[in-house]
Amino acid sequence: MLNSAENKNKIIKIFPLLINDKVFKIEDNSPNYNCIAWAAVVTDCWWDKLPMDKRPSYRHIDGVKFDWPFNVPDEFSTRVLIEIFENIKFVICATGDYEEGFKKVVIYELNGEATHMARQITWGEDRGAWTSKLGASFRISHESPKSLEGNIYGYAVLYMKKSMK
């Protein structure tokens, strides 16, 4: 079962702060998309740095699409992630606190390198909590960006928000 204690323990082993997370649950385990794509609500391809002349790449692996959209530089960095999300109308904001009418994303960094993104849930009983795709693996919901902080993704360093109106 997807949301089993066994699977949850596997994740907690890597992200120990999840042990006290009241929202933590596993939602999916598809390899079809990664965290950056999921932050932009894309579930059928990976968003990862690609040389400019190969975007989007459908050929790279058997017709699977990989993209690094909006002509941003071929670089997996906070600077470039900001640029991508500015293209879809996000702006930098101060915190990850829930604001009615806004969708938020957060960028994580470890030793100055971008590692991960998460998106705030804006509907349902978990509204205000966060959703993260963990690489090619599980997609989870978690209470706050802090729950994934540690020696894998580092720390939540930058928030962006977008009006849903």
Partner 1 sequence: MPFIVDLPPIDFPDENTKIERVDLNGQKNSGEFDFETLNIDKDLFENVYFKEKFNSLLYSWKNKTIFQSSISKIIEDKNFTEILKMNKKELFPLIIDEIEKEPSVLVWALNIISGQSLEIKQRHTIEDVCKKWVSLYRQGKINIV
**Is the Cβ of residue 44 or residue 97 nearer to partner 1 in the bound state?**
44
Residue 42 interacting with partner 1 (CB under 8 A): no
Report the C-alpha gap between 76 and 31 in whole angstroms: 20
> Does residue 145 have a cis bond before it (omega within 30 degrees)?
no
Report the C-alpha gap between 154 and 50 in whole angstroms: 24
Q: Collapsing DSSP states into helix, strand and coil, what is residue 144?
A: coil
Among 152, 155, 157, 162, binds partner 1 (CB under 8 A): 152
Among 1, 5, 31, 51, binds partner 1 (CB under 8 A): 31
Residue 116 interacting with partner 1 (CB under 8 A): yes
Report the C-alpha gap between 165 and 163 in whole angstroms: 6
Minimum CB separation of residue 137 from partner 1 in Å reads 5
Stretch that binds partner 1, among 19-27, 42-50, 95-103, 154-162 (CB under 8 A): 42-50
Contact 122, 78 (CB under 8 A): no
Residues near partner 1 (CB under 8 A): 14, 30-32, 34-36, 44-46, 48-49, 58-59, 61-66, 76, 115-116, 133-137, 152-153
